[in-house]
Structure 1
Amino acid sequence: MSENAKIIAQNKKARFNYFVEDTYECGVVLEGTEVKSVKNGSISMVDAFAEITDGEVWVRNVHIAEYSFSSIFNHNPDRKKKLLLHREEIKRLQRKVEEKGYTLIPLDIYLKNGRVKITLGVCKGKKLYDKRDTIKQRDLDREMSRDFRKDLNS
């Protein structure tokens, strides 16, 4: 992601539940009111995942709320959305997903040059002990930064 991108939503649970092996920047096919809702931040990525069917990548469980200012036309908030990738990238993702334990998880949704983009991660699930290690490491880092700040203020 570049410096001119504005993050709209992050899937923090994905980074906790999965090891992110690789990431891809994807465009998203959205309807007009979906774009307006995304720009308002009315989006949820709880339990979101992506799948490859017939050589196309689709993201599911990304809930984009209906646009409240639309009077005539509104979109279906839970429809699956098509991701835009190059054919070679889709083939590479297909080979990775066919390996045991890999899945495609949307990590971030952001605006880049006025366009909605998704960071798609090739992820492998963490075991319970891996999650405990993540929590332990986060607590140690937090404690070290507190001690460091305390030493600076003394």
Structure 2
Amino acid sequence: MRSYLILAMCGLYLIQYFVELNWLRYVVVALALIAFVGSAPKADPLPRLLGFFMMGFGIALEIGKGTGVEGISDGLFLILPLLCLITLAPLLSIPLRFGGYFEAVALLLKKLMQQPRKLYAGITGTLFLLSPVLNLGSVRIINEFLDELKLPSMMSA
């Protein structure tokens, strides 16, 4: 259920970003708070305690500043782009996997296993080409490319 809440929050955030409806902004913030509270029971005790402490402290600061619900909404809405990027970036690998791109690149890299310099250049070149386009998602995609290869730790770093 919490996965659906997080995906709904990301989807509504993207819609709100382009449509710019004020009421939808509050719905997205409320959904973010519900997703936070809904995900807390699955967290380890220390991160859960730290998360609730930081959230409570932030809310108390906003109320203390006198900004109230509007300030809390602005604060949560400020971090939603990063949260959506981290949440949705792994989904970028799905079309690449179904398109057979992972297998093609993995085959090429397997051929280069005996030539470490060319292998390193291939990995670095792929990362260089994908990074500007996919941002954080490229790290996940490169991990998918290299997952089947048993590279030495020095090479994968």
- TM-score, normalising length from structure 2? 0.22
* Structure possessing the higher relative contact order (Cα contacts under 8 Å, 6 or more residues apart): 1
Q: Which has the higher helix share?
A: 2
Q: Which has the higher strand share?
A: 1
- TM-score, normalising length from structure 1? 0.23
